[in-house]
Amino acid sequence: MKVTTQNDINILSVNTSLKNFEKLYLEVRKAENRIYHDDEVKRLPYASVANPHYAEWNLRAISFQRVLKFLKSKTNYLKILDLGCGNGWFSSRLAALSNLEVYGLDVNYYELNQAVNIFHQPNLKFYYGDIFEDIFTCEIFDIIFLNSTIQYFGDLKALIIRLDDFQNNKGEIHILDSPLYTDESIYQAKKRSLSYYQSIGYSDMANHYFHHSYNELQNFKFEVLFNPNKVTSALKKLIRIKDSPFPWIRIMR
């Protein structure tokens, strides 16, 4: 693994074909008011009430608490990859656990630069690179998190197969805070996404936002650690539960 360093970001690869996506993604993030100032990033997922996505972050905080509880049950030393780490909030929260070594990886240089300026932990490093290139030593990670990330990969099966190259014998891949659809519902979901991106003036982003189904996981050994449909809608309304609408999936070797 050849590594160069730029502004404390470890540069593993530079795929010029991803530059257009990186630029478009950042423009969309700005249009959606998702580029936060440093103090707000430090708070995440416990957003301030002034955050325009406060309600969404409340749900993501619940998801994070589940992950934190899961990791606290682990007593062995773990190497973690946070793929699509963005501004680094999730990576940093994980690195607060002393038995973890955390690698945050993204192709979003702007937010990676923010991450390295905000978060300084001895067991946390940030990397810029394309996961489909030769960037990591094989069989290095115990857990790979895909936190609100799979929708930016066109081929979920290919991604999981690729990530398997970087897992050790007992490695796990965890999918968090991302929608998974039935085959029947994908068409309408695609229409909604296109309509949304058109409404904010970035219709091209619909070509980079992908909709994945549970069927794409059928060839892998997986389990659902959280199922948002487990509690009936009527019961949710009765006891006023507000929880993540997205499943938590664990894929094992």
Q: What is the pLDDT of residues 9-68, one digit of tens each?
A: 999 988 887 889 999 999 999 999 999 999 999 999 999 999 999 999 999 999 999 999
pLDDT at 229: 83
pLDDT at 224: 96
Considering the segment(s) 1-137 as one domain, its CATH architecture is 3-Layer(aba) Sandwich (3.40)
Distance CA 249, CA 178 (A): 10
Q: Torsion angle of alpha carbons 79, 85, 89, 93, nearest 10°?
A: -10
Using the predicted structure, report yes or no on whether residue 83 has a pLDDT greater than 90.
yes
pLDDT confidence band for 134 (50 / 70 / 90): confident
pLDDT confidence band for 138 (50 / 70 / 90): confident
Q: Torsion angle of alpha carbons 146, 220, 244, 168, nearest 10°?
A: -40
Using the predicted structure, report yes or no on whether residue 181 has a pLDDT greater than 90.
yes
pLDDT at 88: 98
Distance CA 57, CA 197 (A): 21
For 216-248, the pLDDT digits (tens) are 999 999 999 999 987 655 555 554 558 999 999
| pTM of the predicted protein model | 0.94
> In what side-by-side order are the strands of the sheet with 167-176?
4-6, 9-11, 124-128, 100-106, 78-83, 141-147, 167-176, 248-252, 221-226
Using the predicted structure, report yes or no on whether residue 118 has a pLDDT greater than 70.
yes
The pLDDT mean for the chain works out to 93
Q: Which residue do the tokens 């895909």 mark?
A: 146
Mean pLDDT computed over 99-120: 97
The pair of structure tokens assigned to 248 is: 């938590």
pLDDT at 231: 61
Report the candidate in 161, 172, 95, 90 with the shortest Cα–Cα distance to residue 131.
161
Distance CA 152, CA 143 (A): 20
Least confident range of 73-77, 80-84, 93-97: 73-77
Percent of all residues in the chain with a pLDDT value above 90, rounded to a whole number: 84
- What does the domain layout of the chain look like in residue ranges? 1-137, 172-253
pLDDT at 15: 81
